[in-house]
C-alpha cells in the first residue's frame, strides 16, 4: 500500500550518495535551455532525471504519468538501454511535484516524443560522465571500457595501473555530481546497439491491476483515513436557498459537514456513511433553478449562431477558384461526448504541519498544484501532488476537480487524510465534455477526377480548460462563497491545434482554405477529450474523400494515394490495404460493408490507416463492427506490444464513440447521468482487431496514443455507406436512419 509522504530527512537519505544538493531547477544565472531536445528544455538539470544509488539501483524520474498507455514501461526500456543496466535495477518515480521534472500534462501523444527523448539524452550524458570517471579511476582509455549491467570493465582485460580492471556505477556514485545542466552533447545509442528498445516487454503496471493489488488511487489506505462525498447543485446555475446542516450532522459516523457558498460536502468515518451523508445533503438543501443550457434539439445551429473568432489556418492557390467539372459540399457534426471513465474520479488529501499533500490521477500534477494554490489561497511550495493511477480517461475529466474537493474536506478534518470519490452521476453531470463540433466541407474535381479546390470550416469551442496560468479551472472553486473564476478559453495553436487539429488536410490539393471558427462562449462545460478536434475533422475529411472518390469513379484507396506525396503515408495506406485483403470491387448495398480511413495524427505524429468491416441489421438498423485491420507507422517503436495495445484501445474507443456515445440534456439539466442513459460499447461488441506495425528504428519516435480515433470513425461511416448506400454524417451514427431503409 502507499504510505504517508517522506519527511525532508528521509527524502534526503533516500537520494543515496550521488548528489550533494538535489534540485529540479538550475541556478538563476543558468542558460534558458533553448535548443535542448524534448522536455530537457524546461528541466535542464541531469539530477532531475536520474540518480545513481550506492545500493545497485538507479532512480529515474519522469513528469509523465501512467494512464494505462504503458508509458512507464517504455521509459524504463529507454533508460535501461542508454545506461546499460537491467530494467530491474530501475526505481521509477512518476508525477510527483516534490521529486520529478515538470513536464506539464501527459497528453497529446507526447510522452515518448518529449519525455522519452529527454530521458534518453539525460541517460546518455550520465553514462558518458560515469565512463570518464571510470577511465580516470582505472587508469585506462575511455574507448577501452565496456559496460554490462552497470559494471565497467577494461575491454582488453589487462590489469590497470591502479591494480584493477573493473568498477561499477555503484562504487562511483559518491564521486559523481549530476547536479549540472544537461548539454545534450552526448548522442544516444544508435538503434543497432539497443537491447530493449524495439522489443516487446511486459507492462510493469499490469500485474497489480489483474491480481487485485494496490494499483489505483482508490486502493490507497492511509492511517486514520476518513471518507468524503460532495453534493453538487442540481444544475450549472442553481442557487442555494437554504441548507439544514444539523440534519446531516446527526447521521452516524459523520465527522464534518462542509459548506462554503454552493459547495456542500460531508466527511465520515466509513465510506457508506459518507454516501448516506451525501444523500441526506440532497434532501436538506433547497435550490432555485433557472434554464441555463442551450436548446438540445439543434445544438449545432445554436453553436454556429454564436459569435466566433475566425482564424484562417491554411490558404494556398490564390483567391479565384478554378473552373470545376464537379463540386460537392457536406456538413458533419459531432455531439458533446463524455470521458465515461469506468472508475469515477478520486483523490486523497491531507493537511499536516501547514502542508497539503494530494494523491491524484491528474494528467498534470504541476498545473494542478498551481490551481490548488489559487483556490485555497496557499503558497504553491506548501502543496505536494503525487500521481497515483486512476481509471483511464485520456483527457480532462474530473481528476483535477476531485483533488480540490478532497482538499476542501481535508481542511476541516484535523490533519486526518480524506479520500473523496465521485459518484457516477457526479462524473457524468459535472465533468468537462469533449466539445460539440460542426464541420462544413466543399471541394471541386477536374475532369481527370483530381481535387482542385478544397474548403474546410470548423465551428468549435475550446478543447482545453485544464488548469492553466490564468484563472482557476477547478469546479469547486467556482462554487465557493468567494469564487475563483476560470481562465479565458484558450486556442491551442497550430501546428498541433485544438478544435482545428487535423483540419489541414495531409493530401496535396493545389487550392485550399481552412478556417477555424472558434466559439469563445461555452454553453456547456468542455475541455480535452482524446484526440481533441482531430476526431471530428478526420471523420469529416475521410468521409468526404470517399464521396469524392465515388464521384470520380475511383477506388477510395487509389483516390487517396493519387493525392499524396508523403511516402510514409502511402506506405501505411498500402500496408492496411494489403493486410486487410482490400478489394475495390466488393459488392455494395448488401448490408455488409467495408470502409477505409487514414490520417497522420496532428500532421506531426503517427500515421495510421484502418479498414473496417461492418454488418447492418436490415430490420433494426443496428450496426456491428466485425473487424478492424490497421497499419501504424510511429517511427522508432519502443515497445511493439505496447504500441499495438494503444492502437487496439483507440479503435475500441472510437467504435464506442462513433456508434453509441452522446451527452443528452434539457434546457436545465444534463440527463446522461448513468450507463443506461450514456451507453458505451460492451465486451461482446468489441470487434476482431488486427494491427501491423511499420517499425522505422532510424526515425524519431512519433506519438501514437491518439492516432486511431479519427480514421476508425471515418472507416465505420464509409463501411456503412458501402453496405447500405446511406451516408451518415452526424455522429454518433445511430441506427434509426438505417432501419428498413436499404435493400
For residue 35, the model assigns a pLDDT of 77
- Please answer whether residues 120 and 190 qualify as being in contact, where contact means their C-beta atoms are separated by less than 8 angstroms: no
Q: Is 401 exposed, middle or buried (0-12, 13-18, 19+ CB in 10 A)?
A: buried
Q: Is the pLDDT of residue 53 over 50?
A: yes
For residue 468, the model assigns a pLDDT of 87
Q: Is the pLDDT of residue 261 over 90?
A: yes
Give me the helix-helix angle, 709-724 and 640-659, nearest 10°. Answer: 50
Q: Is the pLDDT of residue 44 over 80?
A: yes
For 526-571, the pLDDT digits (tens) are: 999 999 999 999 999 999 999 999 999 999 999 999 999 999 999 9
Give me the helix-helix angle, 117-138 and 71-83, nearest 10°. Answer: 30
For the segment 19-25, the average pLDDT, to the nearest whole number, is 34
Q: How confident is the model at residue 318 (pLDDT cuts 50, 70, 90)?
A: confident
For residue 24, the model assigns a pLDDT of 39
Q: What is the CA radius of gyration of the chain?
A: 28
* DSSP three-state, residue 669: coil
For the segment 510-515, the average pLDDT, to the nearest whole number, is 97
CA dihedral 474, 475, 478, 479 (to 10 degrees): -140
For the segment 31-41, the average pLDDT, to the nearest whole number, is 73
For 329-345, the pLDDT digits (tens) are: 999 999 999 999 999 99
Q: Is the pLDDT of residue 156 over 70?
A: no
For 297-317, the pLDDT digits (tens) are: 989 999 999 999 999 999 999
For residue 303, the model assigns a pLDDT of 96
pLDDT above 70 as % of the chain: 94
Kindly report the pTM of this predicted structure. 0.93
Q: Is the pLDDT of residue 12 over 50?
A: no
Sheet strands side by side (includes 383-387): 254-260, 263-268, 226-231, 418-421, 346-352, 355-360, 383-387
Task: Give the integer Cα–Cα distance in Å for 601 and 572.
Answer: 13
Q: Is the pLDDT of residue 23 over 90?
A: no
Give me the helix-helix angle, 709-724 and 534-551, nearest 10°. Answer: 40
Q: Is the pLDDT of residue 34 over 60?
A: no
For residue 676, the model assigns a pLDDT of 96
For residue 485, the model assigns a pLDDT of 93
* DSSP three-state, residue 704: coil
For 90-122, the pLDDT digits (tens) are: 999 999 999 999 999 999 888 998 999 999 999
The C-alpha angle 694, 700, 706, rounded to 5 degrees, equals 65
Place of cell 438540445: 296
Task: Give the integer Cα–Cα distance in Å for 393 and 653.
Answer: 11
Domain spanning 437-463+498-737, CATH class: alpha beta
User: Which H helix or E strand runs over 264?
Assistant: strand 263-268
Q: How confident is the model at residue 739 (pLDDT cuts 50, 70, 90)?
A: confident
- Please answer whether residues 608 and 712 qualify as being in contact, where contact means their C-beta atoms are separated by less than 8 angstroms: no
For 408-426, the pLDDT digits (tens) are: 999 999 999 999 999 999 9
Query: What are phi and psi for residue 616, nearest 5 degrees?
Result: -115, 125
Task: Give the integer Cα–Cα distance in Å for 585 and 587.
Answer: 6
For the segment 166-194, the average pLDDT, to the nearest whole number, is 94
Domain 8-211, CATH 3.30.70.20 — does that match? no
User: Which H helix or E strand runs over 210?
Assistant: helix 206-211
Query: What are phi and psi for residue 507, nearest 5 degrees?
Result: -70, 155
Sheet strands side by side (includes 607-616): 592-600, 607-616, 623-633, 688-693
Asked if 217-289+339-430 and 437-463+498-737 have one fold, the answer is yes
- Please answer whether residues 357 and 403 qualify as being in contact, where contact means their C-beta atoms are separated by less than 8 angstroms: no
Q: Prior bond to 732 cis, omega within 30?
A: yes
For the segment 577-599, the average pLDDT, to the nearest whole number, is 94
* Residue ranges per structural domain of the chain: 8-211, 217-289+339-430, 437-463+498-737
Domain spanning 217-289+339-430, CATH class: alpha beta
For 354-396, the pLDDT digits (tens) are: 999 999 999 999 999 999 999 999 999 999 999 999 988 889 9
Amino acid at each position: 500500500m502507499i504510505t504517508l509522504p517522506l519527511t525532508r530527512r528521509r527524502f534526503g537519505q533516500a537520494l543515496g550518495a550521488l548528489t550533494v544538493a538535489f534540485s529540479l531547477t538550475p541556478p538563476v544565472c543558468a542558460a534558458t535551455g533553448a535548443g535542448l531536445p524534448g522536455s530537457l528544455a524546461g528541466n535542464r538539470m541531469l539530477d532531475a532525471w536520474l540518480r545513481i544509488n550506492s545500493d545497485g539501483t538507479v532512480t529515474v524520474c519522469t513528469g509523465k504519468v501512467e494512464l494505462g498507455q504503458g508509458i512507464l514501461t517504455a521509459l524504463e526500456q529507454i533508460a535501461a538501454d542508454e545506461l546499460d543496466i537491467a530494467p530491474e535495477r530501475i526505481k521509477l518515480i512518476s508525477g510527483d511535484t516534490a521529486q520529478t521534472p515538470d513536464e506539464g500534462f501527459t497528453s497529446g501523444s507526447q510522452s515518448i516524443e518529449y519525455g522519452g527523448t529527454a530521458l534518453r539524452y539525460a541517460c546518455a550524458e550520465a553514462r558518458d560522465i560515469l565512463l570518464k570517471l571510470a577511465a580516470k579511476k582505472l587508469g585506462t582509455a575511455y574507448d577501452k571500457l565496456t559496460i554490462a549491467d552497470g559494471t565497467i570493465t577494461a575491454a582488453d582485460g589487462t590489469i590497470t595501473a591502479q591494480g584493477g580492471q573493473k568498477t561499477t556505477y555503484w562504487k562511483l556514485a559518491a564521486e559523481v555530481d549530476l547536479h549540472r545542466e544537461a548539454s545534450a552533447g552526448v548522442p544516444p545509442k544508435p538503434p543497432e546497439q539497443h537491447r530493449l528498445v524495439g522489443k516487446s516487454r511486459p507492462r510493469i503496471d499490469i500485474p497489480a491491476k489483474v491480481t487485485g493489488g494496490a494499483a489505483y488511487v482508490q486502493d490507497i489506505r492511509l492511517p486514520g483515513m476518513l471518507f468524503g462525498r460532495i453534493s453538487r447543485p442540481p444544475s450549472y446555475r442553481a442557487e442555494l436557498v437554504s441548507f439544514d446542516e444539523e440534519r446531516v450532522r446527526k447521521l452516524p459516523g459523520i465527522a464534518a459537514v462542509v459548506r462554503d457558498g454552493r459547495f456542500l460536502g460531508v466527511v465520515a468515518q466509513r465510506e457508506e456513511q459518507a454516501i448516506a451523508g451525501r444523500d441526506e445533503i440532497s434532501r436538506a438543501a433547497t435550490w432555485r433553478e433557472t434554464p441555463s443550457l442551450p436548446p438540445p434539439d439543434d445544438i449545432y445551429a445554436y453553436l454556429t449562431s454564436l459569435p466566433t473568432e475566425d482564424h484562417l489556418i491554411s490558404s494556398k492557390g490564390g483567391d479565384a477558384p478554378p473552373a470545376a467539372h464537379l463540386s460537392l459540399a457536406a456538413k458533419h457534426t459531432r455531439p458533446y461526448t463524455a470521458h465515461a471513465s469506468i472508475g469515477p474520479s478520486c483523490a486523497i488529501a491531507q493537511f499536516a504541519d501547514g502542508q497539503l499533500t494530494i494523491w491524484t490521477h491528474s494528467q498534470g500534477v504541476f498545473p494542478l498544484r498551481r490551481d490548488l494554490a489559487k483556490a485555497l489561497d496557499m503558497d504553491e511550495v506548501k502543496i505536494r501532488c503525487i500521481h497515483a493511477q486512476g481509471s483511464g480517461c485520456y483527457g480532462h475529466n474530473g481528476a483535477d476537480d476531485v483533488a480540490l474537493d478532497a482538499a476542501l474536506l481535508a481542511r476541516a478534518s484535523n490533519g486526518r487524510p480524506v479520500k473523496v470519490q465521485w459518484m457516477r452521476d457526479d462524473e457524468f453531470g459535472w465533468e468537462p465534455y469533449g466539445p460539440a463540433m460542426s464541420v462544413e466541407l466543399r471541394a471541386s474535381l477536374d475532369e481527370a477526377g483530381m481535387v482542385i479546390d478544397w474548403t474546410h470550416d470548423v465551428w468549435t469551442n475550446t478543447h482545453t480548460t485544464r488548469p492553466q496560468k490564468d484563472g482557476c479551472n477547478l469546479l469547486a472553486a467556482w462554487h465557493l462563497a468567494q469564487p475563483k473564476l476560470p481562465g479565458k478559453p484558450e486556442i491551442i495553436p497550430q501546428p498541433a491545434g485544438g478544435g482545428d487539429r487535423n483540419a489541414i488536410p495531409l493530401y496535396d490539393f493545389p487550392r485550399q482554405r481552412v478556417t477555424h471558427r472558434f466559439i469563445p462562449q461555452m454553453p456547456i462545460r468542455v475541455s480535452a477529450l482524446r484526440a481533441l478536434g482531430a476526431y471530428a475533422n478526420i471523420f469529416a475529411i475521410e468521409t468526404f474523400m470517399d464521396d469524392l472518390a465515388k464521384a470520380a469513379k475511383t477506388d477510395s484507396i487509389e483516390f487517396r494515394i493519387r493525392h499524396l506525396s508523403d511516402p510514409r503515408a502511402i506506405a501505411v495506406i498500402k500496408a492496411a490495404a494489403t493486410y486487410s485483403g482490400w478489394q475495390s470491387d466488393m459488392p455494395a448495398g448488401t448490408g455488409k460493408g467495408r470502409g477505409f480511413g487514414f490520417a497522420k495524427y496532428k500532421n506531426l505524429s503517427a500515421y495510421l490507416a484502418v479498414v473496417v468491416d461492418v454488418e447492418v441489421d436490415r430490420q433494426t438498423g443496428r450496426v456491428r463492427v466485425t473487424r478492424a485491420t490497421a497499419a501504424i507507422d510511429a517511427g522508432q517503436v519502443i515497445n511493439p506490444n505496447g504500441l499495438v495495445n494503444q492502437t487496439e484501445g483507440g479503435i475500441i474507443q472510437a467504435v464506442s464513440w462513433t456508434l453509441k456515445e452522446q451527452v443528452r440534456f434539457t434546457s436545465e439539466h444534463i440527463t446522461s447521468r448513468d450507463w443506461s442513459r450514456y451507453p458505451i460499447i460492451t465486451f461482446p461488441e468489441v470487434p476482431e482487431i488486427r494491427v501491423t506495425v511499420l517499425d522505422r528504428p532510424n526515425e524519431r519516435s512519433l506519438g501514437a496514443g491518439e492516432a486511431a480515433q479519427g480514421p476508425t470513425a471515418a472507416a465505420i461511416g464509409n463501411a456503412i455507406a458501402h453496405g447500405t448506400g446511406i451516408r451518415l454524417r452526424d455522429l454518433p451514427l445511430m441506427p434509426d436512419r438505417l432501419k428498413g431503409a436499404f435493400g
